[in-house]
Amino acid sequence: MSLAQERMALLERTEAVAAKELAPIAAAGEPGVINRPLLTALAEYGLFDQIFPRGESGWLPTSALDLCLIREGLARHCTEAETALAVQGLGAYPILRAATPEVAWEWLPRIAAGEVAAAFALTEPDAGSDVASLTLQAVPDGDGFRLSGEKAFISNAPDADIYSVFARTTPDAGAKGITAFAVPGASEGLTGERITLVSPHPIGRLRFENVHVPRSHVLGEPDAGMRVAMQTLDLFRPSVGAFAVGMGQAALDAAVTHAASRRAFGRTLRDFQAVSHQLAEIATRLHAARLLVHDAALAYDAGSGRTGHLSAMAKLFATETAQRAVDVAIQTHGARALEHGHLLEHLYREVRAPRIYEGASEIQREIIARHLFRSR
């Protein structure tokens, strides 16, 4: 598969911006806290314009392939910038797709300018992979709803300025009883705390204590919030694979460079098949993963119907390949790769989470299996 010249230019430009401009801003940030100068820089270099394209009469659909190229390019040189862009996109996309014009124009221009931080609030303490079991309650109250309950592992929480929140409006209705809301972070009764993970990035818990949300802030239709969530995840799931490919490529690049120069037993490491053949295997798998990601993204952009199984294949194969790539690169380097601050130590911590969020690997296999047997 070959990419059009303008698509290759987007990838190359993103890599250059990530390495030269964004990486220093990311390094200056505080781990676990929203890096607002980084959001501003992502906007200034036009990367938010790519995922929030605007036409003369409003907001245009986001290209899944462009999103994948940007996420791969950022991940190869600055994972913090990649995560900041992805989280901003996840939080904003339900608003872009399903908000009233008034709510959309209140928030989207500022999100796209990097002036405010957005977040996608779906996961709960007891509702991870089984999102249809969420229990955050939204009870009708006058001209809107009152939200009560908790969310957990929400990127950009508790400091985001606007949340796309998914809450239960009809009890015992499973996925059919969930409604999506745009909830400002400054809403009375909304509090939270940060969570520290093995690879620190802005993430936390949220508590809703009778938080009032006007009816105008419903995203889409009442009880149809799961459709809003799935529209968002269908777009972003292939690009999680692109994030993984970028990290895997960075690990492979580091391993190849090291193997070409490091000497042991009178030879360079590249001369040992035990090393070079493993790197050849990783290169092959990364190429295959990239093709799977692009195939899923192109199918999404073409509007070819149900593409969930393609996205699941891309995310599953790419994230598991990236984990293997980082592991092999560390083995090639030896103990020095585990020193705090080493690129591979950083990637070793970063690469683990994508196999869990936006659907764990086991969920992706289930999606693929269901597609196989759907017509049998």
Start-end of H helices in the chain: 5-17, 23-27, 36-44, 47-51, 64-77, 79-98, 101-112, 225-261, 273-301, 308-333, 343-350, 361-373
Structure tokens at 67: 């999103």
Q: How far apart are CA 219 and CA 267, in angstroms?
A: 62
HSE, side-chain direction, 13 A CA sphere, residue 5: 0
Residue type, 346: H
Helices (H), 272-307: 273-301
Catalytic option among 102, 320, 358, 366 = 358
Tell me which long-range contacts 165-168 makes (C-beta under 8 A, separation of at least 24): 165/121, 165/136, 165/208, 165/213, 166/121, 166/122, 166/131, 166/134, 166/136, 166/225, 166/226, 166/228, 166/229, 167/134, 167/136, 167/137, 167/138, 167/225, 168/134, 168/135, 168/136, 168/137, 168/138
- The helix (run of H) or strand (run of E) holding residue 190 is strand 190-194
Active site residue 358: yes
Residue 72, CA distances (Å) to 132, 245, 353, 355 in order: 30, 6, 16, 16
Cβ neighbours of residue 276 under 8 Å, at least 6 residues apart? 259, 269, 270
The answer for residues whose C-beta is within 8 angstroms of residue 266's C-beta and 6 or more apart is: none
Q: Which position has the token pair 């955050």?
A: 136
Which class for 83: exposed (0-12), middle (13-18), buried (19 or more C-beta within 10 A)? buried
Active site residue ranges = 358
